[in-house]
Amino acid sequence: MNYADLSPEVRAQYPWPGADLPVNGGRMHYVDEGPRDGKPVLFLHGNPTWSFYWRHLITGLSDRYRCVAVDHIGHGLSEKPEDWTYRLADHIANAVKLVEHLDLRDLTVVVHDWGGAIGTGLTLAVPDRVTRLVLFNTAAFQGPVPASIRLCRVSGLGPLLVRGANGFLEGAIVRGTKRRDLFRGGTVDGYRAPYPDWRNRIGHLRFVQDIPIEAEHPTRPTIAAMEARLHDLRGRPTLIVWGMKDFCFTPAFLARWRKELPDAEVVEYPDAGHWVVEDANDRVVPLVRGFLDRT
């Protein structure tokens, strides 16, 4: 799927055709908006969203900051290969390749959901390039997984739920947001747009399957190594923003981040859910801008 395939209504909300970079897995799409001499901000989404999730922040920051928002392989407007590995280490390597390709320095890494593990891996891989961190409802360590997500990993049933019924995305739309007044039809269409059928939902399934629940899971060593080095994230200005009504990344995950990053600035939104940037976009945009301006 390409930008031209999006409906006019979706393009009106997401008016950035972007560019592509050949990476491991195929063609990786990204948005690159704002002055090229502005301090760069890299946005890394999670599952089952895409760079559309960051549209309010891109709009609110790109007058001054260079905003780069990735679609991971299998997501958004990037290529969605059926036979790729879809491992965390691969997504990290692709993010590193983009940062090096664009030669981004003095970088702010902004993450959500699976983007937290990818962004942490990126930061640990190229620490001299990353100056600031902004974390939204995410993890880079082992934690409890809701039963509904575990169900999507069951052999045979998982593909039917995730790819056939589009259950992971539709479930996230219902459970991930709490401010229904802000989450209207046009917004929902934007999230659904790159995932119209079985073929285009492969990334959703593979991200779920890559959750390293089992001790022998191939991604378990990647997470374990990352978790052992979380202290290496310290020393950077860090903003943690949390929707406290998150069914997946509960307040217990926030407590862990407070322990790992004791000097971080933390803002809690009691009325927001997992998709905190949607639920609280009117507060998130000035909050992040203020953080960037003063650091």
pLDDT tens series, the chain, 295 aa: 999 999 999 999 999 999 999 999 999 999 999 999 999 999 999 999 999 999 999 999 999 999 999 999 999 999 999 999 999 999 999 999 999 999 999 999 999 999 999 999 999 999 999 999 999 999 999 999 999 999 999 999 999 999 999 999 999 999 999 987 767 778 999 999 999 999 999 999 999 999 999 999 999 999 999 999 999 999 999 999 999 999 999 999 999 999 999 999 999 999 999 999 999 999 999 999 999 999 9
Task: Please name the fold of domain 3-294.
Answer: Rossmann fold (3.40.50)
What is the rounded CA–CA span in Å between residue 105 and residue 209?
Answer: 33
Residues annotated catalytic, as ranges: 113, 246, 274
What pTM was estimated for this model as a whole?
Answer: 0.98
The residue ranges of every structural domain in the chain are 3-294
Contacts 24+ apart (CB under 8 A), 225-231: 226/117, 226/120, 226/121, 226/124, 226/140, 226/141, 227/140, 227/141, 227/142, 229/124, 230/120, 230/140, 230/141, 230/260, 230/261, 231/260
